[in-house]
């Protein structure tokens, strides 16, 4: 059906995502190589286009409103679709250049894959990489269909139809806004208390959700949720806006903690460690380009063993 007017600008949506991730318009503007006034104008235009207040500017620092958090969540597919379109167009223009198809879960795609791919492209600028993103369940489905050559997921295991091995360790942490009562707490939050507290978490099918529910289940406990979101960026924005405690990857919060947007809360009685796993099809060997990517990943840590698919 026809698009409803006015149509939000995709670049402005991307800028809003950066504000949600980085916690300020100034830092988002730097990422997008524009001035802060220009970024502010873009965001106000986006608010007018949607007829929503996306940012609360009353405290001297822009913070996403509940509507802003929702728009960040809803626009994930829009931005991913645009990335796919641009990558597809690039591949069509590639004139026979090497093309590698990669699929990764959201956290891995946001915080690890860019560095890996930058090193791969630095070694051979002719390589074209097509990257899909989704939750762990989506990654597995893409790999089983054969729509990508190599994938990255979070969690404890992968289907027997796929080869897999750990490329990096990670752990989940509980985070709150600085104004939350847990931010000043000295005693760790127990597994029981955490299970009875409504949490801001990832949706079912994500690796983060799988590990969290598994940790709860091992103690005979169940998860209580208040908000379920489809990306770590949306969770961080919701927690920072006061939606309640959230559970995210430690990989995703370093800048937020340093900037004082989020506070890590100690927990006890729950095993929240997990593995970042690479997966590939057992039915066909990895291409030379995929193996080069694996070497780039392995070279980033001498403690990781080389892949042997």
Residue 154 has pLDDT above 80, yes or no: yes
Residue 301 has pLDDT above 80, yes or no: no
- Max alpha carbon distance in the chain (Å)? 60
CA–CA gap between residue 200 and residue 182 (Å, rounded): 15
C-beta pairs of 59-66 under 8 Å, 24+ apart in sequence? 61/23, 61/24, 62/19, 62/24, 62/25, 63/240, 63/241, 64/19, 64/20, 64/237, 64/238, 64/240, 64/241, 65/241, 66/238, 66/241, 66/243
| Closest among 131, 167, 112, 105 to 294, alpha carbons compared | 167
pLDDT digits (tens, 9 = 90+) for 183-215: 999 999 999 999 999 999 998 888 889 899 999
β-strand partners of 263:
176
Hey, which CATH number is domain 79-167+275-299, 3.40.50.2300, 1.10.730.10, 3.10.450.50, 3.40.190.10?
3.40.190.10
pLDDT value of residue 87: 63
Is the pTM here over 0.75, yes or no? Answer: no
Rounded to a whole number of angstroms, the distance between the first and last alpha carbons of the chain is 45
pLDDT value of residue 97: 55
Residue 299's pLDDT band (cuts 50, 70, 90): confident
Residue 174 has pLDDT above 90, yes or no: yes
CA–CA gap between residue 149 and residue 169 (Å, rounded): 22
Burial code of 77-98, b = ≥16 C-beta within 10 A, e = fewer?
A: eebbeeeeeebeeeeeeeeeee
Residue 88's pLDDT band (cuts 50, 70, 90): low
Write the CATH number of the domain with boundaries 10-74: 1.10.10.10
CATH 3.40.50.410 fits 169-274, yes or no: no
pLDDT digits (tens, 9 = 90+) for 33-82: 888 888 899 999 998 888 899 988 877 677 888 888 888 888 888 887 78
Residue 150 has pLDDT above 60, yes or no: yes
**Mean pLDDT computed over 93-122:** 81
% pLDDT > 70, the chain: 90
Alpha-helical regions (H) of the chain = 10-22, 25-31, 36-50, 66-74, 76-92, 106-111, 113-123, 136-145, 191-195, 207-218, 232-240, 254-258, 288-299
281 against 79, higher pLDDT: 281
pLDDT value of residue 135: 87
Instruction: Give CA separation, 277 vs 150, 156, 159, 232, in Å.
Output: 11, 8, 12, 18
| Lowest-confidence pick of 77-86, 109-118, 227-236 | 77-86
Tokens matching residue 251: 């990989």
% pLDDT > 90, the chain: 34
**Mean pLDDT computed over 126-136:** 86
305 against 4, higher pLDDT: 4
CA–CA gap between residue 237 and residue 203 (Å, rounded): 16
Tokens matching residue 255: 């800048």
Name the residue ranges covered by the structural domains of the chain. 10-74, 79-167+275-299, 169-274
pLDDT value of residue 76: 83
pLDDT value of residue 304: 42
**Mean pLDDT computed over 249-269:** 92
**Mean of per-residue pLDDT scores for the chain:** 86
Residue 224 has pLDDT above 90, yes or no: yes
Residue 92 has pLDDT above 70, yes or no: no
> Do 79-167+275-299 and 10-74 fall under one CATH topology?
no
């Amino acid at each position: 059906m026809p698009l409803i007017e006015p149509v939000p600008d995709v670049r402005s949506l991307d800028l809003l995502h950066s504000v949600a991730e980085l916690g300020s318009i100034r830092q988002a503007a730097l990422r997008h190589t524009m001035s802060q006034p220009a970024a502010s104008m873009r965001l106000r235009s986006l608010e007018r286009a949607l007829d929503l207040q996306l940012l609360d500017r009353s405290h001297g620092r822009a913070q996403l409103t509940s509507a802003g958090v929702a728009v960040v969540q809803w626009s994930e597919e829009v931005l991913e679709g645009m990335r796919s379109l641009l990558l597809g167009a690039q591949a069509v223009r590639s004139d026979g250049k090497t093309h590698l198809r990669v699929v990764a879960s959201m956290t891995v795609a946001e915080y690890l894959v860019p560095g890996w791919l930058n090193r791969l492209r630095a070694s051979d600028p002719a390589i074209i990489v097509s990257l899909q993103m989704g939750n762990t369940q989506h990654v597995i489905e893409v790999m089983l269909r054969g729509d990508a050559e190599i994938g990255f997921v979070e969690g404890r295991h992968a289907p027997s139809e796929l080869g897999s091995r750990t490329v990096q360790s990670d752990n989940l942490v509980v985070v709150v806004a600085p104004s939350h009562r847990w931010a000043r707490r000295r005693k760790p939050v127990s597994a029981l208390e955490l299970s009875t507290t409504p949490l801001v978490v990832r949706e079912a099918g994500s690796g983060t959700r799988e590990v969290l529910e598994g940790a709860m289940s091992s103690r005979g406990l169940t998860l209580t949720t208040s908000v379920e979101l489809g990306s770590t960026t949306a969770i961080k924005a919701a927690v920072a806006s006061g939606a309640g405690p959230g559970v995210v990857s430690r990989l995703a919060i370093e800048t937020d903690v340093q900037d004082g947007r989020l506070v890590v809360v100690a927990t006890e009685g729950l095993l929240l460690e997990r593995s970042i796993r690479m997966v590939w099809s057992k039915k066909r060997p990895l291409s030379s380009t995929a193996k080069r990517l694996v070497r780039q990943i392995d070279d980033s840590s001498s403690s990781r063993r080389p892949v042997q698919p």
